[in-house]
């Protein structure tokens, strides 16, 4: 039934855009409003012949909104049960405390880090990031320009 592959990251980094790109379909709602994805979405797809169960999660952040809180809790469970983590970071913003927490919380899983929004001026120091993620692959991507999906697919097939 596919490797459980959790798409993880802060709100608005491009998680649902990545799900849609991998599915070649506009499944998940993409907006510029943080907190758009409130529930977990699961979809099956083969990436370079690797069967994946993709799990698009609500962005993980500290929130007081009741529904969003449940979504965040489910996202954390998705990390715990995942076989593979796709950790998205918005390269157009400096790394936040929440990014760093997510880097730590996903450290003991097979992981690919996706530096998204590379069409915008970058604010993430790649050397600093490389130290934080301890050798895991980093893919530069732009979901709006459809860049990085092939590189991501090869990184996935190299891991499995």
Contacts of 135 (CB under 8 A, 6+ apart): none
Distance CA 79, CA 57 (A): 10
The answer to whether residue 21 forms part of the interface with Mg ion (CB under 5 A) is no
In angstroms, the Cα distances linking 146 to 25, 29, 92, 120 are 13, 17, 17, 14
The answer to whether residue 21 forms part of the interface with ligand GDP (CB under 6 A) is no
Question: Please, are residues 21 and 129 in contact by the beta-carbon 8 Å criterion?
Answer: no
The answer to whether residue 57 forms part of the interface with Mg ion (CB under 5 A) is no
> Of the two residues 121 and 135, which places its CB atom closer to ligand GDP in the complex?
121
> Of the two residues 131 and 145, which places its CB atom closer to ligand GDP in the complex?
145
Give φ, ψ of 133 to 5 degrees: -100, 0
Interface characters, 48-77, with ligand GDP (x: CB under 6 A):
-----------x------------------
Q: Is 33 annotated as a binding residue?
A: yes
Q: Is 53 annotated as a binding residue?
A: no
In the DSSP assignment, the letter for residue 126 is H
The minimum distance between CB 32 and Mg ion, in angstroms, equals 11
Q: Binding-site residue total for ligand GDP (CB under 6 A)? A: 21
- Please choose, out of 34-42, 43-51, 62-70, 74-82, the segment that lies near Mg ion by the rule CB under 5 A: 34-42
């Amino acid at each position: 039934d596919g490797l459980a592959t959790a798409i993880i990251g802060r709100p608005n980094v491009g998680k649902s855009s990545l799900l849609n790109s991998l599915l070649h379909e506009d499944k998940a709602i993409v907006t510029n409003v943080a907190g758009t994805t409130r529930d977990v979405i699961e979809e099956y797809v083969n990436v370079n012949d690797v069967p994946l169960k993709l799990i698009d999660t609500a962005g993980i952040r500290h929130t007081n909104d009741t529904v969003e809180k449940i979504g965040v809790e489910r996202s954390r469970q998705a990390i715990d049960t995942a076989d593979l983590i796709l950790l998205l970071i918005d390269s157009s913003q400096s790394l936040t405390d929440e990014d760093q927490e997510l880097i730590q919380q996903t450290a003991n899983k097979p992981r690919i880090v996706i530096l998204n929004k590379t069409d915008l001026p970058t604010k993430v120091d790649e050397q600093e990031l490389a130290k934080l993620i301890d050798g895991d692959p980093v893919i530069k991507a732009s979901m709006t320009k459809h860049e990085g999906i092939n590189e991501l697919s090869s990184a996935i097939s190299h891991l499995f």
